Amino acid sequence: MPRTPALSIADRCILALDSALATVVGGGARTGRDYPAESANGALSEGERRHSAGLMRVNHAGEIAAQALYNGQALTARDAALRSHLYRAADEENDHLAWCERRLSELHSRPSRLAPVWYCGSLGIGALAGAIGDRWSLGFIAETENQVVAHLDGHFAALPESDTRSREIVHRMREDEARHAREALSAGGQKLPFPVQKLMQLTAKIMTSTAYYV
Ligand SMILES: [Fe+2]
Ligand SMILES: [Fe+2]
């Protein structure tokens, strides 16, 4: 279904369902960008491989959440231009999802087994943020993306130096997430109250510390 500005609520529900299936099973819409790690190389010990796989599984889970948040916000967004923007950003997040999934397979590992949980929980949070109002929804994006940038900085420091393939992916994702935050703010995003920021950090912490192992 084309994601035109005139989508009805029923159309948006179908798109959210389509995104849920594509995210959990694979094959959602992408922007056509190349795999950032294509030309990078580096040998890993068994311990490094396992640590990198844990970190990339966390990033993959974060991208599942990003799909659900953007689609949830698009579901309840009032402004058609904002909705188009959200769908476009979701396609970029889907690039990240595919890159993390490919890297996990290169590391002989797998995505989080709790993908449906991450998706459903985040879809609800995204739909709620969208329903509160477009400027709050944009503020929620900016805060989320800024927290993701900080998280990716932490992963960049934690990844083995020799895992240049994962590092290239994380670097490219960080650039995109920082731009997503800037775009949301310049589109009129409201700064979220401090307790909400803290609650978001706590929710993300639960997901990231679980997805490393499960
Ligand atoms: Fe992302
Ligand atoms: Fe993003």
What is the pTM assigned to this prediction?
0.89
Look at residue 29 in the predicted model and tell me its pLDDT.
75
For domain 44-211, say whether CATH 1.10.3720.10 is its number.
Answer: no
Q: Tell me how far the alpha carbon of residue 209 lies from the centroid of ligand 1, in angstroms.
A: 18
Look at residue 15 in the predicted model and tell me its pLDDT.
80
| Tens digit of each residue's pLDDT (9 = 90 or more) over 58-99 | 999 999 999 999 999 999 999 999 999 999 999 999 999 999
Residue with tokens 């985040």: 122
- For 174, phi then psi, to 5°, come to -60, -40
Q: Tell me how far the alpha carbon of residue 42 lies from the centroid of ligand 1, in angstroms.
A: 24
Closest ligand (CA of 88) = 2
Q: Tell me how far the alpha carbon of residue 168 lies from the centroid of ligand 2, in angstroms.
A: 16
Q: Tell me how far the alpha carbon of residue 145 lies from the centroid of ligand 2, in angstroms.
A: 6
Q: How sure is the predictor about 42, in pLDDT bands with cuts at 50, 70 and 90? A: confident
Q: What Å distances lie between residue 144 and 12, 150, 169, 202, CA to CA?
A: 22, 10, 19, 12
Average of pLDDT values for 11-38?
A: 80
Look at residue 39 in the predicted model and tell me its pLDDT.
85
Higher-confidence residue of 107 and 28: namely 107
| Tens digit of each residue's pLDDT (9 = 90 or more) over 132-182 | 999 999 999 999 999 999 999 999 999 999 999 999 999 999 999 999 999
- List the single range of 5-19, 101-115, 119-133 with lowest mean pLDDT: 5-19
* 30 pLDDT above the threshold of 80: no
Q: Tell me how far the alpha carbon of residue 46 lies from the centroid of ligand 2, in angstroms.
A: 31
Q: Tell me how far the alpha carbon of residue 45 lies from the centroid of ligand 2, in angstroms.
A: 31
* 25 pLDDT above the threshold of 80: no
Q: Tell me how far the alpha carbon of residue 177 lies from the centroid of ligand 1, in angstroms.
A: 6
Look at residue 5 in the predicted model and tell me its pLDDT.
60
Closest ligand (CA of 180) = 2
